[in-house]
Amino acid sequence: MRAKLDRLLSQTEIVLAEHQKQQLVEFVNLLNKWNKAYNLTSVRDPEEMLVKHIMDSLVVSPYLQGSHFIDVGTGPGLPGIPLAIANPDKQFVLLDSLGKRITFIKNALQTLGLTNVEPVLSRVEQYRECQFDGVLSRAFASLSDMVDWCYHLPNENGLFYALKGIYHESELAEIKRPVLQTDCIRLQVPELVGQRHLVILKK
């Protein structure tokens, strides 16, 4: 699995240290192990997880601006944990409303020795502890839902980072709150079949 990760990374401009690569492989092993009992992801094959979960998360890393981020509807820690591994200088809050997912994340953080992640069990509309430089999510079906539910989370200069498959600009017109699209980036995820986009919005 480590050889596959090296091959995937070589197709990007992402540079990671040896211990970071080891943490990513260990995270996939944990996800695979816990998945059998907790049903955390529909992806069952660890090598497929490297593409669909790890690389799909990591390709967002070069576009992150700031130091304090929240991953909303993180599930088993995606994209938050791979991004936290790749960016030890940044802080991440991983928010989910399902207890078993947060239990898994807490275990993963302890096993991986990650200190720049805070797991939070909460519904997004009830979480108002602080504001962030960036609000990340790949959990929302529509941009409108993401902006509606998360509008209180970015700080004055904060951005929404929406990870999407196919993206139609008509989604922007459906957003009722005042936002600007600052960028729409076609992401290149090695060995992934299908389109991936990162849509960046600002209040």
- The CATH number given to 1-202 is 3.40.50.150
For 114-169, the DSSP string reads: --SEEEEES-GGG--S--EEEEEES--SSHHHHHHHHTTSEEEEEEEEEEESS--T
Please determine, for residue 2, whether its predicted confidence score (pLDDT) is greater than 90.
yes
Please determine, for residue 91, whether its predicted confidence score (pLDDT) is greater than 90.
yes
**pTM greater than the 0.95 cutoff:** yes
Annotation: binding site: 73, 78, 124-125, 138
pLDDT (average), residues 127-135: 97
Annotation: binding site for S-adenosyl-L-methionine: 73, 78, 124-125, 138
Task: Please report, for the chain, the start and end positions of each structural domain, with discontinuous segments joined by +.
Answer: 1-202
pLDDT digits (tens, 9 = 90+) for 144-165: 999 999 999 999 999 999 999 9
